[in-house]
Structure 1
Amino acid sequence: MTSFLNKKILGHVLFWAVLLIYFMSVSWPYETNKIFLFESVFFKLILQIILAYAIIKIGIPYLLNANRKLVFFSSCLVLIYILFISYSIYKAYILIPSYPDEFSYRPPFILADRFTNWPAYIGSIPEYLFPTVILVIFNYYKKQKETAILLEKKRTSELNALKNQLNPHFLFNTLNNLYVLALKKSDKTPEVIAKLSEILDYILYQCKDKYVLLKNEVALLHNYVDLEEVRYGNRVKVSFNKDITNDAKIAPLLLLTFLENAFKHGVSQEINSARIDIYIQGDVQNIEFRIVNTKPAISEKNHNDNREAIGFKNIKKQLELLYPDSYILDVNNERDLYSVNLKITSNAL
């Protein structure tokens, strides 16, 4: 905390030092007495510092942000007038007596006239406000940057929370499948364990990045299909068509939830034969994922069920966070078919 404050103070000191050098450089070729130049510029800089921090620390937070705009602008004008008169008094009682030669060729300076010299006062406003405007702009962009960082951290936290909800949900379903096979003492149990091991390796070690290769996500889906086919056997027929490039990327675990739901709602309650059709097309510019599954007759009783399971809600939240305004998700819940069509546009990839 102390280090941060020191850096902040040092930054402000450096800012005003640069301004002092700048203001002196403007008149440097025209003033022979450099000490006089420094004193006049330095005193005006002190007045500018007073104005800047009065506006930034008091005026903006307590007046402008409180929607008291008239009071804010009136206060600024009054304060600038006070500073304008202060510099006039400093000039009359300090600068002119100390450096009479520097004013010998200048027009006579009458202090009383300065109190009502409105053109000179109005003309001095931009000069006094110049450093304040720079600081306000700098603070604005700094706060915008800090806000962006906080929003990114918030979004990352939300995504991690959603993933933590999704992964146990997937693992619970897979382990349940393995449990059923173990009870049956199936010869396919080692195959399922191997597939589950591949899936766990992918989830634990390869899904840490914000985006992963689409081909790896497709491999995950293939492993999941293999596990479910072991469980359901001839009760399900899965067609898997893909057309993807090696460099296509997508957020990890996005597509798995749709596949889980297809098996859960389209196969688990089907007593006859179910069908799932999967199509994935993807390149560096666009990704399209489509999955269609048949619905068992028992689902007719729940035809209006929108299937907003936990996993499905999570996937919609992730899409909003990862691809805002850059995706299209169409869900069709028909009498005997359920389909999902996801398109991610090029500006999000």
Structure 2
Amino acid sequence: MKSGISSKLYVHLLFWILYYILEVYLDFYWSRYQFPDVDWQIRLQNTIILELGYLLIKMPLAYSLLYVYEKTGIHKILTYVFYGLIICAAVLAHRFFTHYIIYPHIYGVVETLDGKQPSGFINGLVAFNSFMDLIFMVGLIFGVEITRQKNILKEQISRLKSEKLDQELTMLKAQINPHFLFNTLNNIYGMALKKADETPDAILQLSKVMRYNIYEAAERYISIDKDLENIKDFLQIQKIRHHDLVIRFHEDTDDPSQEISPLILIQFVENAFKHGVSEALGRGFIHIDIQLKNKVLHYHIENSKEENPHGHSTKIGLKNIRRQLELLYPKHILTVESTNDRYMVTLIIDFNDPSTF
């Protein structure tokens, strides 16, 4: 609230300074032809004084009209009536100041219409001139204020959209983490039932993975080398259980510090184990290839397909990761292919794309 008031104060203060300078320039330029015999320094001094006087009329007019404009609860007809009364009062004040103060006391002459015929306090031409001078200022101040309000509204909408995306991403991560933990604990449970010697190592490896999920994944972005390290830890857990599984992991990155949203890449690996190689006994394989060149990521996973796939196996991981990619990297390319004996997933993310989250 305080920042909004400060912003309005700065914008309006700048407006009045620039408007005052413009009016001084225009009146000084006009006085050169109206009073050619008067020294320019005196004309400039007179112009500075009279424009300050006009500001005392124009500023109350401007903020009275803005006040009525912002009172949205006022009936439309009443609004127009208030506008008319305020403008009429300002025109009368403008004429009074011009006719009775500026010409006799600052210029030292009688106000005339054409340089010869004296002008009265009110007549059609001079009243119209005063009206146009005031309306010109009103149009400027309304334009500045409406533009300022629109910019604030755009910022608020942008902030709300960003907060909504953050909330949705947080919710998606909250769904993914328990799913990942459930699947991994199932793996270790199977090892424990067999009283496998590797069970303690698997638990230790899981602790590293969960440390990553709890602390690192809380960040919006992490370096890709940390994300790849987490994938390697996950693969170590799987290697302990699946002794006959062929795992090939290849990475080629030219910028390990490139930032990426956590828990995206590993979901494809986890899905490959959960819905692919976990029951491909004796012939299971998973090949992972990651390349990052010139800020373009090429991520490819190919894994063996289980012989008797479950008809109702959960797809929550894939659904969530698709949604995260839509939010974070709108122009990503994701292809998922399935043949009789394998699944293939390819993901391309261009980090140069300005539309990324």
Aligned partners of 2:204 and 2:305: how far apart in 1? 30
The structure 1 residue matched to 2:105, chosen from 101, 105, 129, is: 101
Q: Given the superposition, is the C-alpha separation of residues 51 and 287 from structure 1 closer, same or farther in structure 2, using an over 3 Å criterion?
A: same
Q: Secondary structure at the match of 1:329?
A: strand
SS in 2 for 1:146: helix
- After superposition, the C-alpha distances for 1:6-32 in whole angstroms (9 at most, x for unaligned) are x65565456545544544444386353
Q: Contact 1:249 / 1:284 at 8 angstroms: preserved in 2?
A: no
Residue type at the aligned position of 1:152: S
Of 320, 338, 342, 2:343 maps to 338
- Pairing 1:221–2:231 present: yes
2:175 matched to which residue of 1? 165
Report which structure shows greater RCO (CA 8 Å, sep ≥6).
1
Partners of 2:139 and 2:47 in 1: CA distance: 27
Partner SS for 2:218: coil
Distance 1:40 1:297, change over 3 A: same
Distance 1:120 1:346 in 2: 59
C-alpha distance in structure 2 between counterparts of 1:186 and 1:86, whole Å: 94
- Please name the residue that 1:147 is paired with: 157
Distance change >3 Å, CA 292–CA 121, structure 1 → 2: same
One of 112, 118, 123 as aligned partner of 2:123: 112
- Aligned partner of 1:90 among 86, 90, 93: 93
1:214/1:248 contact within 8 Å kept:
yes
User: Does residue 126 of the first structure (1) align with residue 125 of the second (2)?
Assistant: no
Q: With structure 2 as the length reference, what TM-score do the two structures score?
A: 0.79
1:32 is aligned, of 23, 26, 46, to 46
> How far did residue 227 of structure 1 move?
1.1
Shift in CA distance, 47/35, structure 1 to aligned 2, threshold 3 Å: same
The residue type equivalent to 1:220 in the other structure is N
Q: Structure 2: which amino acid aligns with 1:243?
A: D
SS of aligned partner of 2:192: helix
Q: Distance in 1 between matches of 2:125 and 2:89?
A: 10
Q: How does 1:187-226 map to 2 (within 5 A)?
A: 187-226=197-236
In the TM superposition, residue 41 of structure 1 has moved relative to its aligned partner by 1.8
What do you get for the CA RMSD once the two structures are aligned?
Answer: 3.3
**Any idea what SS the aligned residue of 2:213 has?**
helix
Q: 1:239 aligns with which of 243, 248, 259?
A: 248
- Does residue 280 of structure 1 match 2:290? yes
Q: Aligned pair in 2 of structure 1 residues 123, 37: CA closer, same or farther (>3 Å)? A: closer
**What's the CA shift for 1:154?**
1.4
Instruction: List gaps (5 residues or longer) in structure 2.
Output: 29-42, 113-118
Amino acid paired to 1:101: H
Helix, strand or coil: the match of 1:268?
helix
Where in structure 1 do 4 or more consecutive aligned residues deviate above 6 Å? Answer: 78-81
- 1:138 matched to 2:143: no
C-alpha contact (below 8 Å) 1:162/1:318 kept by paired residues = yes
1:47 corresponding residue in structure 2 = 61
Gaps of 5+ in 1: 64-70
Q: State the 1:111 CA deviation.
A: 1.6
> Counterpart of 1:262?
272
Q: 1:57 to 1:260 in 2, by over 3 A?
A: same
Quick one: distance in 1 between partners of 2:258 and 2:15? Answer: 50
Distance in 2 between residues matched to 1:273 and 1:134, nearest whole Å:
71
Q: 1:291 to 1:41 in 2, by over 3 A?
A: same
Say which one has the larger Rg: 2
1:29-81: per-residue Cα shift (whole Å, max 9, x none)? 6353866543322112211222334345549x998xxxxxxx9xxx88x9877
Q: Structure 1 121/94 Cα, relative in aligned 2: closer, same or farther at 3 Å?
A: closer
Contact kept in structure 2, 1:287 and 1:345, CA below 8 Å: yes
- The number of aligned residues is 326
Change in CA separation of 1:16 and 1:286 when aligned onto 2, cut-off 3 Å: closer
Partner Cα separation in structure 1 for residue 297 and residue 110 of structure 2: 77
2:286 & 2:234 partners in 1: Cα distance? 13
Q: Residue type matched to 2:274 in 1?
A: K
| 1:94-145 residue CA offsets vs partner (Å, 9 max, x unmatched) | 653455334635422452315984x875565332211111111111111211
SS of residue matched to 2:340: coil
TM-score, normalisation: structure 1: 0.80
User: Is the 8 Å Cα contact of residues 247 and 284 (structure 1) preserved in structure 2?
Assistant: no
> Is the partner of 2:182 in helix, strand or coil?
helix
In structure 2, C-alpha distance between the alignment counterparts of 1:32 and 1:51, rounded to whole Å: 29
Q: Which piece of structure 1 moves more, 98-107 or 179-188?
A: 98-107
Q: Give the secondary-structure state (helix, strand or coil) at the position aligned to 2:195.
A: coil
SS at match of 2:63: helix
1:23–1:270 CA distance, 2 compared to 1 (3 A): closer
Query: Which of the numbers 295, 301, 321 marks the counterpart of 2:327?
Result: 321
What CA distance in whole angstroms lies between the structure 2 residues aligned with 1:9 and 1:289?
49
